[in-house]
Structure 1
């Protein structure tokens, strides 16, 4: 809590959009499972969302 290192490391961490890819999970019984994923793009228009118009 008294160190500046965590604050500096967090600020320097490059974050990139990851809109698609694969997630791999090692299941104890089924073995390695691979799931593709895709994140739908949502317009910057505040009246649009995946759940319909805002009231």
Structure 2
């Protein structure tokens, strides 16, 4: 019983290490570029919304 539990824990820890290595090898430049593009799109949509609201108030 004790031997099986130790092998299970070691296999689960190796799986966790594999997942961590995959996360670390993922390029951060793509993440930053996607994050920046998303923020830019949100700001652009907010600006369009403000312009439409101001034009409706004036008319």
Normalising to structure 2: TM-score of the pair?
A: 0.29
Normalising to structure 1: TM-score of the pair?
A: 0.30
The higher relative CO (CA closer than 8 Å, separation ≥ 6) is in: 1
